């Protein structure tokens, strides 16, 4: 059996994934990062996007994350996500409505904290819509 990395994905609501995998691609704020067994240790921030889980050279799972942190060691990749859901659970109509509401909130925001929160919700909504489009891998 090939060497694997333990991948764990945790959201505030639940543990979504805890299993050995061949590779995980995480949407980092500095760019997508592929995590293989033996990866150098790191801690990084995660941007809204899709985590791709690979086994036997193929994607077996795609999960949307709304940001968070990733910790990588030689044996493990742990993502602490602010929001996470399998792509199959995303609904285009609901996502479009949430994005519209977030854009309205952004247009109405007068103070810095409200504006920042609305900008974040717009970014998450746009990333969710992009996640519903065909993926490159």
Answer whether 121's CB lies under 8 Å from 102's CB: yes
Q: What is the pLDDT of residue 95?
A: 94
Phi, psi of 48, rounded to the nearest 5 degrees: -60, 130
- pLDDT for 1 beyond 90: no
Q: What is the pLDDT of residue 2?
A: 63
pLDDT in tens, 54-102: 999 999 999 999 999 999 999 999 999 999 999 999 999 999 999 999 9
Question: Token pair of 36, please?
Answer: 């293989």
* 34 bridge partner residues: 25
Place of tokens 């994350």: 65
The mean pLDDT of the chain is: 94
- pLDDT for 134 beyond 90: no
Q: What is the pTM of this model?
A: 0.90
Helix, strand or coil, per DSSP, at residue 125: helix
Q: What is the pLDDT of residue 135?
A: 80
């Amino acid at each position: 059996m090939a060497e694997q990395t333990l991948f764990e994905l945790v959201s505030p609501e639940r543990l979504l994934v805890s299993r050995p995998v061949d590779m995980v691609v995480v949407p980092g704020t500095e760019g997508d990062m592929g995590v293989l067994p033996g990866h150098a240790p790191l801690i990084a921030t995660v941007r809204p996007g899709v985590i791709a889980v690979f086994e036997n050279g193929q994607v077996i799972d795609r999960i949307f994350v709304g940001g968070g942190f990733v910790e990588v060691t030689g044996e493990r990749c742990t993502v602490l996500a602010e929001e996470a859901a399998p792509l199959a659970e995303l609904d285009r109509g609901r996502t479009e409505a949430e994005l519209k509401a977030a854009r309205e909130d952004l247009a109405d925001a007068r103070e810095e904290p409200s504006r920042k929160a609305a900008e974040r919700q717009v970014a998450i909504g746009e990333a969710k819509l992009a996640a519903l489009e065909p993926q490159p891998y």
